[in-house]
Amino acid sequence: DAEITQSPRHKITETGRQVTLACHQTWNHNNMFWYRQDLGHGLRLIHYSYGVQDTNKGEVSDGYSVSRSNTEDLPLTLESAASSQTSVYFCASSRQLQETQYFGPGTRLLVL
């Protein structure tokens, strides 16, 4: 069955380190998104991509980057991890815009 996966599911890192969170989907969706979820803030968009080689900044993109070299993957990189980036990160994908976004299981990141 087609699915969307994230790895790792849990990560502990230290401030200043570079961290990459993986997102992989097998639906062949063009649209992929990264959100962070924090208590009291809901889901906030970090970066998104509408296809290979396309990336765009969301509302909370500072300190994060993404790259889209193929349809299936959208890795999220924290260039220099900060304690403020401790959060739960969700990747999502959709076939068409303004259609269902399918979320991955999430990655819980702790920056010490």
Q: Which is nearer to other proteins, 14 or 54 (CB)?
A: 54
Which residue type does 78 have? Answer: L
Say if residues 87 and 36 touch (Cβ distance below 8 Å).
yes
Q: Which is nearer to other proteins, 33 or 64 (CB)?
A: 33
Least gap, CB of 80 to other proteins (angstroms): 26
**Could you list the residues that contact other proteins (CB under 8 A)?**
33, 35, 40-45, 48, 56, 58-59, 90, 96-98, 100-101, 103-106
- Residues 72-105: b if buried by 16+ CB within 10 A, e if exposed: bbbbbebeebeeebbbebbbbbbeeeeeebbebe
Q: Which is nearer to other proteins, 16 or 105 (CB)?
A: 105
